[in-house]
Amino acid sequence: MVEEKLPQILVRGISLISLGEYVKSRLKSNEERRFFTRLPAMDAEIILTAQKWQWYPFSTQRSLREGIAQRFDPRNPLDAIYDAGYYAAERETSTFLRAMLGFFSPRIVLRNANVIWSKYYSLGKLQGTFVREGFGIVELTGFPSDSKFCPMVTSWLTVASSTLKLSGAEVTKTACMHNNDPLCRWEIHWRILKADKPGQPHASFNQMTFPPINPSCCRDSPLQKATNAVTPSSISLKPAVFTAMRTVLALKSRMGTILIPRGAPG
């Protein structure tokens, strides 16, 4: 029987960098050097020279995770990888992304889960479903990873729940492809607060405004034109959070600074 060759998975360099920083935060310089020399030479070189938004072999991340599990908690490798993943997720969630995630409702963020996923991994689909207030589901399909990868997703969902300010959020894995299930599934439960009840919705994309621009000094500037274009009628609400991010980043390229929407938490 010929073994089926799985498609190559690629991962963004930011994942390798963040996991590498976790190792550096836990070890002294001489121990750190020994850690990386024990990895396959090519993987160690990639990790130490990775660029944030370049694509690299997923096998390199796997080698790094296995090294972390062996070094920090060989008896509980999944716990060790979860801890490293949590550190990485907090590091990767920049101040700006935290502001954007914190501004939108869980419904919108879950709807756009796969957009975030595709920024980090070249294969797979991460589908989020807002079941009801206080309950959401995230499912991963089409991602032929190793059995020690799932804690990375669990840790990311935990950090995202905190960023969304979901009170008492608990992330539980309820299905796994490595247990012969057709997919990996996580359930997210959180307490419903007063602001979550009907009639008191979370902030919506229509509530976003940008600082006014003095028309006398820059009426025809690229920034003025870009700001004028940011209206509810000109923006698709379906991928709202990422449309907003692209808009703000476009303004950043013209201003040389990040422009946070008025009303977004800092």
User: Any idea where the domains of the chain sit in the sequence?
Assistant: 10-77, 95-196, 205-255
Q: How many CA atoms lie within 13 A of 26 on its CB side?
A: 18
206 pLDDT higher than 70: no
Selected residue with higher pLDDT from 97 and 264: 97
> At a CB cut-off of 8 Å and minimum separation 6, what does 32 contact?
23, 24
- Name the pTM for this structure: 0.72
Q: What is the pLDDT of residue 228?
A: 46
CB 67 within 8 A of CB 81: no
Selected residue with higher pLDDT from 192 and 98: 192
Percentage of the residues of the chain whose pLDDT score is greater than 90 = 61
Q: What is the pLDDT of residue 82?
A: 98
232 pLDDT higher than 80: no
CA nearest neighbour of 68 among 32, 121, 120: 32
Helix axes 13-26, 29-37, angle to 10 degrees: 130
188: left (phi over 0), alpha (psi -120 to 50) or beta: beta
Residue 173 pairs with which residues in a beta bridge? 186
Structure tokens at 57: 């072999």
Q: What is the pLDDT of residue 95?
A: 61
Query: Tokens 């993943």 identify what position?
Result: 85
**Residue 5 pLDDT level (bands cut at 50, 70, 90):** low
What is the CA 201 to chain-centroid distance, rounded? 24
pLDDT digits (tens, 9 = 90+) for 105-162: 899 999 999 998 999 999 999 999 999 999 999 999 999 999 999 999 999 999 999 9
Identify the CATH number of the domain defined by range 95-196.
3.90.1520.10
